Structure 1
Amino acid sequence: MEKIFEFIDPGEIVTLYNHGTHVVEVMMFLDDRHTLEPHSVVLSHAEAEQRITDLRSRQDLTS
């Protein structure tokens, strides 16, 4: 398992891990009690590339 991308924004952390045959996206969001609420999604490599592109464009907007 290799970390391939991480996006950090106030209230949100998104990390993508390469598992060889697939990519796992782990998202942590601050909930109303200010505790991190984890969610995960299994993606294909093509879906992960698109997700990274989307997150990079969000990073560029906040920079």
Structure 2
Amino acid sequence: PEIKSWIDTVLYDSACDSQPLKDKFRDQLGIALEASLNPRRKKTVTENLPKGMKKLTAYGNLVCNA
């Protein structure tokens, strides 16, 4: 297909995250199929952060020590 030349990654909903679907996109179209980040599955990061950072939430919000 024509889309193959300029699309290399497709982002889709994690609700339909399936390896057979990823394999089909890769094998037939040469496109990597990636599921979006589900913040409910992630935890707040509080360790090994640079100086001045208190925490990084699962939604990507940075909280400083101030």
Q: Which structure has more strand as a fraction of its residues?
A: 1
TM-score with structure 2 length normalisation?
0.27
In the superposition, the TM-score normalised over structure 1's length comes to 0.28
Specify the structure having the higher radius of gyration (Cα).
2
